[in-house]
Amino acid sequence: MPINRKSHRLIGFFCFITFFVICQDQELADSLIYLYNSKSYQDNELVLLRRIAESESNPARTLEFAELLIDKASKDSLFEFLNSGYLQKGNALLKQGNNILALESYFNGLNYANRLGDEIGIGSMMIVIAGTYSAMENSNVAQSYYNKGIQILRKSNDSLKIGSALLNAGDEYFNMGILDSALIFTRESAIIFKKIKSPIGQAYGLGNLGMIYAEQENDILAEININKAINILEKLEDYYPISVYLTFMADIYFRKNDLTTAFNYALRSLELAKKHGLKDQIGDANLKLAELHEQTGDLESSYKYYKEHIVYRDSVKNVEAVQQMADQRTDYEVSQKQIEVDLLDQRRKNQRNIAIGSAIALFLIGLLTVGLFRRNRFIRKTRARSFGQPSSQYSARGNSCRIKGEWYSEGQKIRFSNRSVHRL
C-alpha cells in the first residue's frame, strides 16, 4: 500500500516550531509554571513567560502563556517579546488545526522581527509561514518562503535554526515526491543535530529519514529509524510527530502482511491524536484506518473511518481557509510595499526640505554678507571725513583756498574777511 505523503506535510515543520528558541521540555515547563504561579521568581516576568511558552508541549497551555506574554509585552511595546509571543501562539494554533489564526499570528511575528531588524528572526518566521502553506498543500507559496528563509538563515551561525530549516526543506521535497533531494536535505540536517547534540533535532531527523526509507520500501531502515525517533520523542512528550510516525509503521507492517500490528499502530496513532487534540493527525489516522479496512475488504468500517477523516480534513483544509490565508499573504506583502513607498516618500520629502532649508540659509548668509560689506564701507567713509580733511578745502595750489566757488590767496582771504567784518 503506497504511503500518503500529503497527509504528513507538517512533520518536518513541527520540528522547526518546536525548537525555534529552545527545545520543548515538559519537565522544564512544569517547573517553570510552578515557579510562575508561586510568584517566587526573581527573573523578569516576560522572560519567564517566554520560556514557559517555548518549553510547553501541550498546545492549549502554550496558547495560554503565549497570549499572556503578548498582553503584557504590548503594554510597553516590547517588540522582542511580542515577536516570541506571536510565534508560540501560532505554533499552538497550528497544532490545534487552526491554520488561519496561526498564519495571522506568524505574520504578526514577522512584522515585529522586521521592526527589530532581526535577520535570524525574519528567516525563521519565513520558515514557519512556509510550513503553514505546506500544511495547506500550497507548495508554490511554501517553496517561495522556504527558499527565502533558508537563504537568510545560511548567513547566520545558528546551527539549530539552519538544521531545522534544512529538515523542513527536505520534508517539502518528500511531500512533492522528490525523494533524492529529500534524503540529501534530511541527512544534512541530521548531521547538524548530531553535532550540536540536540535530542529533539536528532529525533525528527531519524523519524523523517524513516519516512523516506519507508516510501522507498526500505522497511528495515525505516523501522529502525522510526523506532529510535519514537523512543526519544516519548521521553520529550512531543506527541504530534509520534502520531505521524505511527501511521508509517502501520504501512510498513501492512506490507509485511502483519495486519494485526498494522492496525495496532494506526489505532495507537488515532488515540494519541485524540488525547492531545491534534486535529490534523486525527484526520490522517482515520484515513489510514479507512485504507487498512478497505484493503482487508471491510468496507463498512472503512466508510466509517473515512467519514471521520473528511470531517477533520474539511475543518483544517478547506477552500475558504486557503483563500483567507492567501489574502493574509497578499495583505502582508502589500503592507510591506506600502511601507517601502512611505519610507521613500518620506526620504524625498526630507531631501526636499533639506534643499529648501539650505537655499534659504545661503540666501540669508548672502544678505548678511552684503549688509556687513555696506556697513563697513559706510564706517570707513565716515571716519575718513571726520579725521582725514579740514573744514575748508585746500588744494594743490599751496596757500590758496576755495570760498563760494572762487579761489583766493591768503591775503585776499584776510581782506575779504576784514570787509565782511567792517560791513557788520
Report pLDDT digits (tens) over 187-235. Answer: 999 999 999 998 888 999 999 999 999 889 899 999 999 999 999 999 9
Give the pLDDT score at 321.
Answer: 53
Task: Write down which residue in 176, 204, 224 finishes a domain.
Answer: 176
- Domain shared by 27 and 157, yes or no: yes
Query: What is the spatial distance between Cα 108 and Cα 335, in angstroms, rounded to a whole number?
Result: 12
The reply to whether 205 falls in a domain is no
Number of domains composing the chain: 2
- Domain shared by 158 and 274, yes or no: no
Q: Is the C-alpha dihedral spanning 177, 179, 180, 182 positive or negative? A: positive
Query: What is the spatial distance between Cα 32 and Cα 327, in angstroms, rounded to a whole number?
Result: 38
Q: Are the CB atoms for 279 and 97 separated by under 8 Å?
A: yes
Give the 3-state secondary structure of residue 406. Answer: strand
Contacts of 266 (CB under 8 A, 6+ apart): 246, 247, 250, 285, 288, 289, 292
Q: What is the mean pLDDT of each run of 10 residues along the chain (424 residues)?
A: 51 49 69 88 87 88 94 91 93 87 93 92 90 83 88 87 87 87 91 91 92 91 94 89 91 91 94 88 91 92 92 65 56 58 64 81 83 79 64 46 47 44 39
**Beta strand pairing call for 401-403 and 406-408:** antiparallel
- Write out the DSSP string of 211-245: HHHHHTT-HHHHHHHHHHHHHHHHHHT-HHHHHHH
Contacts of 383 (CB under 8 A, 6+ apart): none
Phi-psi region of 97 (alpha: psi -120 to 50; beta: other; left: phi over 0): left
The reply to whether 415 falls in a domain is no
- Domain shared by 44 and 161, yes or no: yes
Q: Domain containing 305 — which CATH number?
A: 1.25.40.10
Give the pLDDT score at 389.
Answer: 52
Cell 509585552 -> residue: 73
The reply to whether 49 falls in a domain is yes
- Domain shared by 169 and 260, yes or no: no
- Domain shared by 34 and 139, yes or no: yes
Task: Write down which residue in 176, 209, 235 finishes a domain.
Answer: 176
Q: 135: which 3 cell numbers?
A: 500544511
Q: Are the CB atoms for 16 and 168 separated by under 8 Å?
A: yes
- Domain shared by 21 and 155, yes or no: yes
- Domain shared by 150 and 296, yes or no: no
- Domain shared by 253 and 121, yes or no: no
- Domain shared by 288 and 164, yes or no: no
Task: Write down which residue in 280, 296, 317 finishes a domain.
Answer: 317
Give the pLDDT score at 140.
Answer: 82
**Maximum alpha-carbon separation in the chain:** 159
The reply to whether 387 falls in a domain is no
The reply to whether 351 falls in a domain is no
Q: 46: which 3 cell numbers?
A: 516576560
Cell 564701507 -> residue: 377
- Domain shared by 61 and 147, yes or no: yes
Contacts of 99 (CB under 8 A, 6+ apart): 93, 132, 135, 136, 316, 317, 321, 325
The reply to whether 69 falls in a domain is yes
Range of the domain at 124: 7-176
- Domain shared by 171 and 269, yes or no: no
The reply to whether 368 falls in a domain is no
Q: Measuring CA to CA, how many Å separate 362 from each of 170, 300, 349, 359?
A: 63, 91, 20, 5
